[in-house]
Amino acid sequence: MLEKTRAIVLHNVKYAESSIITSLYTEQFGRLSCMVNAVRSKRTSFPASFFLPLTILEIDLYHKPGRDLQRIREMSCWLHFNSIPFQIVKSTIALFIAELLYKTIREEESNRALFDFLIHAIQLLDIKEEGIQNFHLVFLLQYMKFLGIYPFLPEHNGVNDNHPVFLLPADAGDNEKNGFWQLAGGSLAQLENIRLTNKTRSYLLDSIIEFYMVHFGQMTGINSLQVLKEVFQ
């Protein structure tokens, strides 16, 4: 059946001479893998810019539940980015977030709350300028809420046996502790209010990623993590 849905690009793999298999997070069907033919052909209707990390597409596809690979008939860009592909900091953050989503989203069913959160976050990444170096850290914490692993933070809330507990490493100093509480109380819309040094930002990033790894045993390392750190050195 031909269906229409919005989709966020997470990951691509080359297939044969000119095709790709693209992993998408869709509004209607959750995560899907789709075959896209002739992407690398000179006469393609689907330019390479459609498959950059976190690109938001509107697609028509022949959806068959339970099928490993869906086929896309038509697609268009739902949101044309103004800055993400053209600014190294933003494009690196987009690469990191897309890889994180690819390795943590498994559900092949609609989750409108998560999809709306991601659309809003991607739009903010594209338009915001101040405080953008903290975007991925606040995103990591807010995304936890949709994964069911958002922790009780014992220094503020006490311990609750029904929720995971986030603890900074024992060697965390005042800068790291204060920085974390800024992130926990921050929002993607007001990143400019968060003040962190590059050293503190890198420390907190490692700590939060370690928390993810504990709760996603199947999750392998984030390949783009080192690139992200180098951008902020």
The confidence score (pLDDT) of residue 217 equals 67
Residue 140: pLDDT over 80: yes
Contact call for residues 137 and 208 (beta carbons, < 8 A): yes
Length of the chain: 233
Confidence bin at 163 (pLDDT 50/70/90) = low
Beta bridge partners of 8: 25, 56
Residues 62 and 73 sit within 8 Å (Cβ to Cβ): yes
Options 1.20.1440.230, 1.20.1440.120, 1.10.4160.10, 1.20.120.450; CATH of 84-231: 1.20.1440.120
From 1-10, 65-74, 99-108, the region with the lowest mean pLDDT: 65-74
Query: Distance between CA atoms of 59 and 5, rounded to whole angstroms?
Result: 6
Q: What confidence score (pLDDT) does residue 164 get?
A: 56
Domain ranges of the chain: 2-77, 84-231
pLDDT (tens digit, 9 = 90+) per residue, 205-223? 988 898 888 877 666 778 8
**What is the amino acid identity at position 88?**
I
Q: Where are the beta strands (DSSP E) in the chain?
A: 2-15, 19-26, 30-36, 56-62, 70-77
**C-alpha span between 38 and 67 (Å, rounded):** 21
pLDDT, mean over the chain? 86
Closest to 166 in 3D by CA, of 199, 201, 140? 140
How many percent of the chain have pLDDT more than 70? Answer: 89
What is the spatial distance between Cα 68 and Cα 65, in angstroms, rounded to a whole number?
A: 9
Mean pLDDT within 37-56: 81
Task: Report pLDDT for 71.
Answer: 86
pTM beyond 0.85: the answer is yes
Strands 70-77 and 56-62: antiparallel
Query: What confidence tier does 160 reach under pLDDT thresholds 50, 70, 90?
Result: very low
Architecture of domain 2-77: Beta Barrel (2.40)
Q: Within the chain, what is the greatest distance between any pair of CA atoms?
A: 60
The model's pLDDT over 49-103, given as tens digits with 9 standing for 90+, comes to 889 999 999 999 888 888 888 888 889 999 999 999 999 999 999 999 999 999 9
Which strand (E) or helix (H) includes residue 141?
A: helix 135-147
